[in-house]
Structure 1
Amino acid sequence: MLRLTAVLYILVASAVAGAAVITVLTLDLREGWQIGSAFGAGLVIAIPIAALLGRKIYNELNGPKAV
């Protein structure tokens, strides 16, 4: 599950961090620290999202356990 989460993190982090940077630029905040902070926050926010998606996909791929 960790490998699946790591691959998902690459995809989710780029989307979330990119959206955060676009939001900052849309708000006309053009200082380097503002853009960098938005990017860093997007990377941090992507961790639980990737973990949740990884857990859900892993559980669905394994299916219900036969009794």
Structure 2
Amino acid sequence: MSLFLKTMIFHIFIGATLMGTAITALLVMGQGNMMSILVAALAAFVVAGPISWLIARRLH
């Protein structure tokens, strides 16, 4: 399996986990408006990329 494919598979799971964690944290803090949720989801999506690549590179 190629490094790119591994990275994309990890990105699906890591991104979803980070997004869920960020949105849950916002809701618990009472900051659950639409804009903050969208920003948190986008930030988690962006952060998941390098994390996924690092994990895939280690396992490749």
Q: TM-score, normalised by structure 1?
A: 0.83
Relative CO higher for 1 or 2, CA cutoff 8 Å, sep ≥ 6?
2
The number of residue pairs the alignment matches comes to 58
Q: Deviations over 1:2-46 (max 9, x none)?
A: 001011100110001111111111110021001111111110110
Out of 48, 51, 59, which is 2:50 matched to? 48
Detail structure 1 runs of 4+ shifted over 6 Å in the superposition: none
Q: Which runs of no fewer than 5 residues in structure 1 stay unpaired?
A: 59-67
* Alpha-carbon distance between aligned partners in 2 of 1:30 and 1:19, rounded to the nearest angstrom: 13
- Compare the two structures and name the one with the higher helix fraction: 2
The residue type paired with residue 13 of structure 1 is: G
Percent identity between the aligned chains? 24
